[in-house]
Amino acid sequence: MYDILQNLNDAQREAVTSTEGFVRVIAGAGSGKTRALSHRFAYLVNEMGILPSNILCVTFTNKSANEMRQRIHNLTGDNDTGYINTFHGFCVSVMQEDSYAVQYPKNFIVLDNSDIDAMLGIIYEERGLTLRDMTFSNARDMIEIRKCIKEPEYYLDMIEMSLDTLREKYEQSTTASDIIFYGYLYQEKKCFALDYNDLIKFSLYIFEENEDIKLKWQKRLEYIMIDEFQDIDKLQYRLMEVLCGYHKNLFIVGDPDQTIYTWRGANVRYLLDFDKAFPNVKTVMMMQNYRSTPEILAVANSLINKNKSRIEKNLISMCAHGETVVCHHGDTSEAEAFWIADEIKKLCEKGVPYRNITVLYRAHYITRSIEEVFLKEKIPYTIYSGVQFFDRKEIKDALSYLRMIAYKDDLSFARIANTPKRNLGKRRMEFLREYADASGCTLYEALTKTLDNEIFKGTSASKFVELIERFSAEYEGRQISEVLADILNKSGYEKMLRTEGAQDRLDNLAELKQSVHEYEISCGEESTLTHYLAHIALFTNSDTEDTGDKVKLMTVHTAKGLEFPYVFLCAMNEGMFPTRKTQSLQAMEEERRLAFVAMTRAKKMLYITEADGRNFDGTPRYPSRFILDVDDGLLNYVPKPRESLIEEAKQHIENSQKWLKDESERPYIAVGTRVKHPILGKGTVVDIDEGKSAYLIQFDGIDTPRAISQRAKLEII
């Protein structure tokens, strides 16, 4: 027992030794919850003699599960580490053992996105659908919404219908949505395949319909532990309720201040109201933080205290005092990036390796100015869960269009001649290569000389040549930013991305346009297209040595669960962090929790940065409300924004706050609901536009439907 309980603080020891009944642990950031979970597992096995195969430990990522297995193996010395899984991984175990209950074989397929896209490709081809009917991205989202919200009983079709009957339902569907949805269910059943939504639904169905199977699993799982409980969703909660129904030993760990996945269905109320849902709940508060300095935690505590939906608590640092958190205000995004680079250099001069430094941000498009400066200053970096800005496909494509206008070179031609699709596929490109080799000309020249050849009949080759020739003749008299925007529009490239539903890529192109505009301002008369292309080549052909010692760049979501000695939290501006897409009071609290997560990743030093200037749409940039939320005296401003800007920011925040809706007061109105509008009268909700927070309503007395704001006064009838 000494080995397992040693070096645990009082709260951790209480959590580890509280083995029976319902136990809730509120574990603040950096409080050692993974340590508590793994030691509790070892305590059950080594000290109480519980068999590992009778313990279920649920984590939310496969990476966390693997780390937990290793820790438990080191503590117990036993290769049997029980069921240490994600919810979906555990459901795979259930299905592999009991899939016969739903007439599925043990060797069923678990689908990933590429598998789903392959199935969609079959459906589109069979029924003559195109991406104009629905993009694959939108189709995947539609399938998930129908499975999780609109038609939660869908799985009964897959289980109870014969394959022929399901195919008939698919063939009789007429709308694109129904064709795709029922075609997908048919393809799933045909291949004995299940996606992530199906795994939990099928497992729950088996438990609900087969008392013997349910009791077998309930008896087997004597102790259940669930990590990251603030991220649990409705289906996972139902599964948990079933599994703990016999022994009634359930141990949950979570932090309501780190709920950042409500957009995936997570509901923090399950954690906050756990003591109301289960009898005699014991709550353990783990507030001692072993990660961050008192100065960092003071800022994080001050920020998160502004949220209302939370359990009131403050993290207590167990680390030595450090430096005050620095907040930098830059004149421009580029100046902000240069300041970050200078601070990194200062850290390196003190002996800090690059790998101990991390730059966090809300979204990947923000990295553009950071990357440009890091490349100029020869600061090695790597991007986690993303591709470096100038290596992203859409950026390379856009720059290739500019190069094509100026140089008409083979590399650019090969990259964009058939992007978007112009029917210039492999066979025709091979023809051009052979002609170019024989004639000693470029691929583009080969195309212009052979346009009349039969091989290009039915292609858009001539339109591509017209496009390039027109832009080549006039680009010298135009601004580069104007040429870029025009060619992306006239070539159909941006339309292609919109059709694909690739908003992230469109955001990256907007950031590229902004960088071109900034380049034009800084270079003045020298800002010619050829000069810009030579300038940008320095960034697209970086020769930074790959030493493995690099600054880490990543989104805050990616950084969840990680920690870093030195953290730069950049682009802390309104519209960036919090994101401009935030539309409700609840979503704003989640953005604040996300900022809290970012701050509590830092161990030794935290730097917060933001910049003056204007956004791409011309609106002024203001410091983030999350900076203004921090109590006076906790931040060291270098320099502090001018007082007039702070007042303007406060006024902007106050105005924008008025437009945030309260989701708790707004009833969810489903498609098909009859409603009454105070002016337009009675109608039926035919669709919901979540992006615009609007209902599409077909009113009885109006021929065409109307998009009505969800803030409007609608009476359900």
Q: Is the Cβ–Cβ distance between 646 and 656 less than 8 Å?
A: no
230 is catalytic: no
Structure tokens that stand for 587 in this block: 């979503």
Task: Give the three-class secondary structure for 210.
Answer: coil
Q: Which long-range contacts (CB under 8 A, 24 or more apart) does 42-47 make?
A: 42/4, 42/72, 42/75, 42/76, 43/1, 43/4, 43/5, 43/16, 43/17, 43/19, 44/19, 44/223, 45/76, 45/78, 46/1, 46/4, 46/75, 46/76, 47/1, 47/4
Catalytic position from the list 13, 24, 33, 603: 33
What kind and span of H or E run contains 199?
helix 196-209
Q: Distance of CA 63 to CAs 24, 84, 337, Å?
A: 23, 11, 32
Angle, CA of 146, 558 and 377, to the nearest 5°: 135
- Phi/psi at 639 (nearest 5 deg)? -90, 175
What is the rounded distance in angstroms from the CA atom of residue 646 to the CA atom of residue 653? 10
Please give the full DSSP string across 304-340, using - where no structure is assigned.
HTT-SSS-----EE-SPP-PPEEEEEESSHHHHHHHH
188, 228, 255, 334: which is the annotated catalytic residue? 228
34 is catalytic: yes
Separation of alpha carbons 239 and 242, rounded Å: 5
Does residue 601 carry a catalytic annotation?
yes
Active-site hit among 14, 17, 19, 34: 34
C-beta separation of 566 from 293 below 8 A: no
What is the number of helices (H) and of strands (E) in the chain? Answer: 31, 22
Of 218, 230, 236, 258, the catalytic one is 258
Q: For residues 539 and 242, give the distance between their C-alpha atoms in angstroms, rounded to a whole number.
A: 55
Amino acid symbol at 2: Y
How many Cα atoms are found within 13 Å in the side-chain-facing hemisphere of 315?
34
Active site residue 33: yes
**Catalytically annotated residue among 13, 69, 552, 601:** 601
- Could you say which of 227, 257, 397, 511 is catalytic? 227
Q: What is the Cα 610 distance to its own chain's centre? A: 22
Q: Which residues are catalytic?
A: 33-34, 227-228, 258, 601
